[in-house]
Amino acid sequence: MEIPWWRDAVVYEIYVRSFADASGDGVGDLPGIRQRLPYLAELGVDAIWLTPFYPSPMADGGYDVADYRDVDPLFGTLADFDALVTDAHALGLRVLVDIVPNHSSAEHPWFKAALRGEGRDRYVFRDGGDEPPNNWQSTFSGPAWTKTPDGQWYLHLFAPEQPDFNWRNPEVHAEFLDVLRFWLDRGVDGFRIDVAMGLYKAEGLPDLPPEDQAFRSESPIWGRPEVHEVYREWRKVLDSYPGERMAIGEVWTDSAEDLALYLRPDELHQSFNFAWLEAPWSATAFRKVIDDTLAAVTAPTWVLSNHDVVRHVTRYGEGLTNSTAGLARARAALLAMLALPGSAYLYQGEELGLPEVKDLPPEARQDPVFRRSEGSLPGRDGCRVPLPWAGAAAPYGFSPDGVGPWLPQPVDWAALTAERQAADPGSTLHFYKEALRARRELRGALPDGITWLDAPEDALVFTRGPLTCVLNCGTEPVPLPPHEHVLIGSAPVDGYLLPPDTAAWLHTP
C-alpha cells in the first residue's frame, strides 16, 4: 500500500524575505521564488514551505498578520501566489503555507476594533490596575502584557505588536476554519502551524514560578489540553479536500510522549521534532533522540535548522579550532537524518553550507528579540541573511545588481553561491543533490524502523533494510561494518575506516 506523500517527504523551508528578490526592492518575494522553483526541483525536494507572506506591518518578519486572506504588496499579489502554486505543482513540488493562529498583528481589524472597545473578547484582555495581571514574560523579552489607554491589559506572548487571540471565543475558531478553506481552495497542500502548542491559556491565568517559563506539558501557557480540539476541527477540514492535504505543528515540548499527543489519528499529521535540532554533536545524544522519537511517534520528522535558530553549521562548529569542522559535521548530520524513517525538513541555504552571520551591525538588525532585549540577545537575523545565488559580490544575485538586500550579506560568500557550487563536484550543494537522489532511489525498499548494530562509543551504526548508516562523532576513525559498497559519504571514504565527523551509507546484502 502506498504511504501518504508527507510520511517520507523532504520539505524545503523558504523564508520568503530572504530567498530571491524579483521586484528589485531588496526583499524576497513570491515572483522570486517562482523563478527559482527549477533549482528546488533539481535539488530533489518534494515540497516547499513558505513562511508568512500575508499583509503585515513586519514587526516580526510577517508573523504579525494583519490579513490572513491576502498577500502583502511587499511579496506580490494573490495572482503571483496562484502562479507559484501552479508552477510548483507542474514541477512535482507540493506547497505548504504558514498559518499563525496564536496571535495576530496589532494592525488586524479585529484588534483595532478591540482597542475601541468592540469585540474585545476575541483577544486576551484583563484588568490589572497599575501592574500586569500576572508575571508572564514574553518569549521576546520583557513582560507579556501591555496596558491600553483605557486601563486594561492585553496579552502578547511575543511582541506587543502581536496580541494573543482568545481561543475560548467561538468566533476565533470559525475565523481560522474559514482561513484554512481559503488557502486550500487555492491549491495549497498543507499548513505549518506557528506556535501550535499555544492558543489556549489556563483559566484564571495563574502566575508562573519566576524560573518556570518552559514548554512543559503542565504549563499554564503551553500545551493546554483544550488545544487538541482545535486540531480535531482542522483535521476534518483537511480530510474533506482531495490530495492528502496535511498539517504540521510547531510544537515545543519536553518529551516525545507529549509530542505524540498532537499526532493522534484525528489531529495533526506531523509535528516538528526539535529534540533532534537541540541535540549536541554526540552519538549518545543522537541515539537517545532517535530511540525516544521512534518509540513514541508514528510519523516522525527530523530538522537541523530553521528560521528561528542558529544555523547548524555554526552550532556544530562552536568552540572548535578547525574552521571546517562545523561544515563537516553538518554534512554528516544531514546524511544520518536522511537515513531515518519519516520526513526531513531542510532550511533554505543549508544546501550551500551557509553559516550563521554573527557580525551583523546593530543598525541592520530587525528581529524584535534584539530590540526588546536592548541588544543583550542577538536575535534571529543571523540565520535569515538573504541567499547568495551568483556573482562575486553582494547582492550575489539575490536582488538585481546595485540593490542592497534587507540584511547585509558577508563579503566572503562568493565561494558559497549556488552558481559557484553547481560547478564544483565536491561542493555541499552537489552533496545534497546526491544524498537526496540516493534517498529517492531507496524509497520503497526501506522499512519504517531501524536496527542498531554494535558500534564504538562515539559512533552510531543502524540498518534499514539494505541500507546501513554509520555516523562517526568521535575524534578517531572507526571501522565500517561489512558491506558491498559505499553508496554515499559526507566526506571521502577510503577502505574500511570512517573518518571523524563523517557519515556514510553502505549497501548491504
Establish whether 258 is a catalytic residue. Answer: no
359 is annotated as an active-site residue: no
* Helix-strand-coil split of the chain, %, nearest 5: 30, 15, 55
Tell me how far apart the alpha carbons of residues 115 and 118 are, in angstroms, rounded to a whole number. 7
The residue annotated as part of the active site, out of 29, 60, 194, 351, is: 194
Q: Which three cell numbers stand for residue 324?
A: 571546517
Our measurement of the distance from residue 138's CA atom to the centroid of its chain's CA atoms, rounded to an integer in Å, reads 21
pLDDT 10s digit of each residue in the chain, 509 long? 589 999 999 999 999 999 999 999 999 999 999 999 999 999 999 999 999 999 999 999 999 999 999 999 999 999 999 999 999 999 999 999 999 999 999 999 999 999 999 999 999 999 978 999 999 999 998 999 999 999 999 999 999 999 999 999 999 999 999 999 999 999 999 999 999 999 999 999 999 876 655 555 568 999 999 999 999 999 999 999 999 999 999 999 888 999 999 999 999 999 999 999 999 999 999 999 999 999 999 899 999 999 999 999 999 999 898 889 999 999 999 999 999 999 999 999 999 999 999 999 999 999 999 998 999 999 999 999 999 999 999 999 999 988 999 999 999 999 999 999 999 999 999 999 999 999 999 998 999 999 999 999 999 999 999 999 999 999 999 999 999 999 999 999 988 999 999 999 999 87
**Cβ within 8 Å of residue 473, ≥6 positions away:** 281, 282, 283, 286, 329, 458, 459, 460, 500, 501
Angle, helices 325-338 vs 428-442, to 10°: value is: 10
Closest CA to 309 of 252, 359, 356, 351: 356
How big is the chain by its Cα radius of gyration, in Å?
A: 23
Q: Which three cell numbers stand for residue 59?
A: 514587526
For residue 281, the SS3 value is: coil
Within 10 angstroms of residue 90's Cβ, the number of other Cβ atoms is 10
Residue with cell 522553483: 37
**pLDDT at residue 216, rounded to an integer:** 57
Three-state secondary-structure class, residue 33 = helix
Using CA atoms, how far apart are residues 386 and 18, in angstroms rounded to an integer?
A: 4
pTM to 2 decimals? 0.97
Measured from the Cβ of residue 159, the count of other Cβ atoms closer than 10 Å reads: 25
User: Would you say how long the chain is, in residues?
Assistant: 509
34 torsion bin: left (phi>0), alpha (psi -120 to 50), beta (else) = alpha
Q: How far apart are CA 352 and CA 458, in angstroms?
A: 27
Question: Grid coordinates standing for 365?
Answer: 538588525
User: Of these residues, 250, 258, 356, 501, which one is catalytic?
Assistant: 250
Q: Which residues pair with 468 in a beta bridge?
A: 463, 506
